[in-house]
Amino acid sequence: MTIVPSSPVSPAAGAPSGLDQVVAAETLLSHVDGAAGRLILRGHDLANLADWRFEAVLSLLWADLVPDAGDTDAVTKMLAAARPVAFALLPALLPATDGLSEVEALRLLLAALPDRADLPHHGLAVAATPVFAAAIARRRRGLAPVAPAPHLGLAADFLRMLHGEEATPEKVRGLETYLVTVADHGLNASTFATRVIASTKAGLFSAVLGGLCALKGPLHGGAPGPVLDMLDAIDGEAAIMPWLTAALDRGERLMGFGHRIYRVRDPRADVLKRAVSSLSAQDGRIRFAQSVERQALALLAARKPERALQTNVEFYTALLLEALGFSRESFTNVFAAGRMAGWTAHVLEQEKTGRLIRPQSLYVGPWPEGVAA
Ligand code: ACO
């Protein structure tokens, strides 16, 4: 890993500090071009990956970082073999998640993955996440977990473990597109957290658990549920502008809009919009959402002309995951199932090429008497 610049840079005291312009890693995995609205994963534009299987994208990301990873069939087999291993942990652990939110429950279950596991840790982490997420969602509905089916791909098995029956090919395709779309996204907050932990050699499970903890926040992966809350709260077409205006007047943020990097439309929003549009019976909901989107963008442009606030990935994520039958409480866990691809790849890359990440801080506290600042 290269830290650029190499000499310490201090933000001016009191300046907003979000490390915006700091390059903190070199990576082969993905590139986010915020000005052009472009996301590249290892040489491929996201728009060209939207039809790929999730296992093929894992294979792309893991290639050269671990043996055999470049072979999609080998990756598919490894994940199919790892899902039952995760499932076997559920009888002992699932009851302990009662009373927790779904993402808190996933945090508890991922924390229980043993560092001594025989299977490759990157495969077990990716395979375990949908097994755990589906079992947690079913338990919230009073239903027993459904055992994984090794003959299915990860996306198809995820929907089967959630609903108890095989999903239609169009729904499997919809989830596959979602998992691929969120697989990796530069040095976002959760991926950075993951790399920091990986840099201490704490191990892959500890690192990806840190990623999940960062993802959980509403400014990162916790937004799609609130997007649906917003759509539900707006009482018809005529109420859209008054509702949005009142929310901004109260100082609230409109969920599903704005991004730290993108200054144009988030390219993931369009991929997901196409995916949800291809699912039948969503027309009315999508038309209404598009109207909310149009009016929100107009209002944000008028209120914050200096900021270029655009639709982000979470807006159409909410509609797609709803159409696939996930409850809004499950959304962050489904995001984690996709982003686990990127987190694991960044851990592998960090372990292979990086060194301990240890930045400096600017001390702005009082100095002991007689010590000059
Ligand atoms: N609605 C209203 N105002 C907004 C929004 C929004 N969605 N986003 C930013 N702003 C405003 C801020 O209030 C701020 O205004 P101010 O300067 O008058 O205080 C200005 O735009 C700049 O905001 P920042 O916080 O500096 O923007 P930042 O780059 O840090 O925030 C973020 C990015 C957190 C995503 C923000 O746009 C937001 O809170 N959006 C809503 C939540 C959301 O959709 N999260 C999902 C993000 S996508 C992902 O992580 C996968």
pLDDT in tens, 265-307: 889 998 998 898 888 666 788 889 999 999 999 999 999 999 8
**Mean pLDDT in residue range 146-171:** 97
Range with the poorest average pLDDT among 5-9, 28-32, 82-86, 156-160 = 5-9
Ligand 1 mutation target, pool 212, 244, 309, most atoms within 8 A of CB:
309
Nearest CA to ligand 1 atom 8: 258
Assigned token pair, 62 = 């893991």
Delimit the CATH 1.10.580.10 region(s) of the chain. 50-220+333-353
- The whole-model pTM stands at 0.90
What pLDDT was estimated at residue 281? 66
CATH code linked to domain 224-323: 1.10.230.10
Per-residue confidence at 116, pLDDT binned at 50, 70, 90?
confident
What pLDDT was estimated at residue 225? 81
Delimit the CATH 1.10.230.10 region(s) of the chain. 224-323
What pLDDT was estimated at residue 261? 85
Ligand 1 touching residue 255 (CB < 6 A): yes
Per-residue confidence at 23, pLDDT binned at 50, 70, 90?
confident
Per-residue confidence at 13, pLDDT binned at 50, 70, 90?
low
For residue 172, give the amino acid letter: V
CB 135 within 8 A of CB 148: no
Q: Mean of the per-residue pLDDT values for the chain?
A: 92
Ligand 1 mutation target, pool 187, 190, 249, 312, most atoms within 8 A of CB:
312
Nearest CA to ligand 1 atom 47: 220
Alpha-carbon radius of gyration of the chain = 21
Please give the distance, rounded to the nearest whole angstrom, from the Cα atom of residue 253 to the centre of ligand 1: 7
Summarize pLDDT for 308-324 with one digit per residue, the tens.
899 988 899 999 999 99
Residue of 121, 163, 220, 259 with catalytic role: 259
Ligand 1 touching residue 304 (CB < 6 A): yes
What CATH class does 50-220+333-353 carry? mainly alpha
Ligand 1 touching residue 307 (CB < 6 A): yes
What pLDDT was estimated at residue 220? 83
CB 305 within 8 A of CB 254: no
**Mean pLDDT in residue range 138-160:** 97
